[in-house]
Amino acid sequence: MATKLTSRESDYSKWYNELVVQADLAQHSDVKGCMVIKPYGFAIWERMKDVLDQMFKDTGHVNAYFPLFIPKSYLSKEAAHVEGFAKECAVVTHYRLKNAEDGSGIVVDPDAKLEEELIVRPTSETIIWNTYKDWIQSYRDLPLLVNQWANVVRWEMRTRLFLRTTEFLWQEGHTAHETSDQAVEEARKMLEVYADFAEGWMAMPVLKGVKSANERFAGAVDTYCIEAMMQDGKALQAGTSHFLGQNFAKAFDVKFATREGGQELVWATSWGVSTRLMGALIMTHSDDAGLVLPPKLAPIEVVLVPIYKGEEQMAEIVGALQGVADQLKAAGFRVKLDDDDSKRSGWKFAEYELKGVPVRLAMGPRDLAGGTIEVARRDTRSKEIVPMDGIQSHVKGLLEEIQTSLFDRAEERRTSTTTSVDTWEEFLAALEAGGFVEAHWDGTSETEDLIKKETKATIRCIPLEGNEETGKCVRTGADSSQRVVFARAY
Contact, 295 vs 301, CB < 8 A? yes
Residue 408 domain-assigned?
A: no
Residues in contact with 314: Cβ distance below 8 Å, sequence separation at least 6, in sequence order: 306, 308, 339, 341
What's 170's domain CATH number? 3.30.930.10
213 and 342 fall within a common domain: no
350 and 264 fall within a common domain: no
Residues in contact with 212: Cβ distance below 8 Å, sequence separation at least 6, in sequence order: 445, 448, 459, 462, 484
219 and 78 fall within a common domain: yes
Cα–Cα distance between 291 and 298 in angstroms, integer? 11
Task: Please state the separation of Cα 343 from the chain's center in Å.
Answer: 34
Residue 293 domain-assigned?
A: no
Burial string for 67-94 (b: 16+ CB within 10 Å, else e) reads: ebebbbebbebbeebbebbeebbeeeee
265 and 329 fall within a common domain: no
pLDDT of residue 1: 55
What is the total count of domains within the chain? 3
Residue 252 domain-assigned?
A: yes
Q: Give the amino acid at 88.
A: E
Residue 193 domain-assigned?
A: yes
85 and 211 fall within a common domain: yes
Task: Please state the separation of Cα 262 from the chain's center in Å.
Answer: 42
328 and 235 fall within a common domain: no
Contact, 175 vs 145, CB < 8 A? yes
Q: Is 171 helix (H, G, I), strand (E, B) or coil?
A: strand
Per-residue pLDDT of the chain (490 residues; tens, 9 = 90+): 568 999 999 999 999 999 999 999 999 999 999 999 999 999 999 999 999 999 999 999 999 999 999 999 999 898 788 888 989 999 999 999 999 988 889 999 999 999 999 999 999 999 999 999 999 999 999 999 999 999 999 998 889 999 999 999 999 999 999 999 999 999 999 999 999 999 999 999 999 999 999 999 999 999 999 999 999 999 999 999 999 999 999 999 999 999 999 999 999 999 999 999 999 999 999 999 999 999 999 999 999 999 999 999 999 999 999 999 999 999 999 999 999 999 999 999 999 999 999 999 999 999 999 999 999 999 999 999 999 999 999 999 999 999 999 999 999 999 999 999 999 999 999 999 999 999 999 999 999 999 999 999 999 999 998 768 999 999 999 999 999 999 999 9
314 and 457 fall within a common domain: no
Burial string for 302-335 (b: 16+ CB within 10 Å, else e) reads: bbbbbbbeeeeeeebbbebbeebbeebeeeebbb
Print the domain residue range for 452: 419-487
Residue 241 domain-assigned?
A: yes
Residue ending a domain, among 229, 259, 285, is: 285
What's 364's domain CATH number? 3.40.50.800
* CA separation, residue 257 to residues 192, 245, 301 (Å): 31, 18, 52
Residue 412 domain-assigned?
A: no
Mind giving me the DSSP string for 125-154?
A: HHHHHHHHHHH--BGGG--EEEEEEEEEE-
Residue ending a domain, among 258, 285, 312, is: 285
Residue 174 domain-assigned?
A: yes
276 and 342 fall within a common domain: no
Count of other CB atoms within 10 angstroms of residue 103: 6
275 and 369 fall within a common domain: no
Residue ending a domain, among 285, 320, 341, is: 285
What's 461's domain CATH number? 3.30.110.30
Cα–Cα distance between 378 and 352 in angstroms, integer? 9
240 and 280 fall within a common domain: yes
Cα–Cα distance between 462 and 16 in angstroms, integer? 29
166 and 52 fall within a common domain: yes
SS3 breakdown of the chain: % helix, strand, coil, rounded to 5?
Answer: 40, 30, 35
Contact, 72 vs 123, CB < 8 A? no
Residue 1 domain-assigned?
A: no
Q: Is 244 helix (H, G, I), strand (E, B) or coil?
A: strand
315 and 464 fall within a common domain: no
Which residues, in sequence order, are bridge partners of residue 271? 173, 241
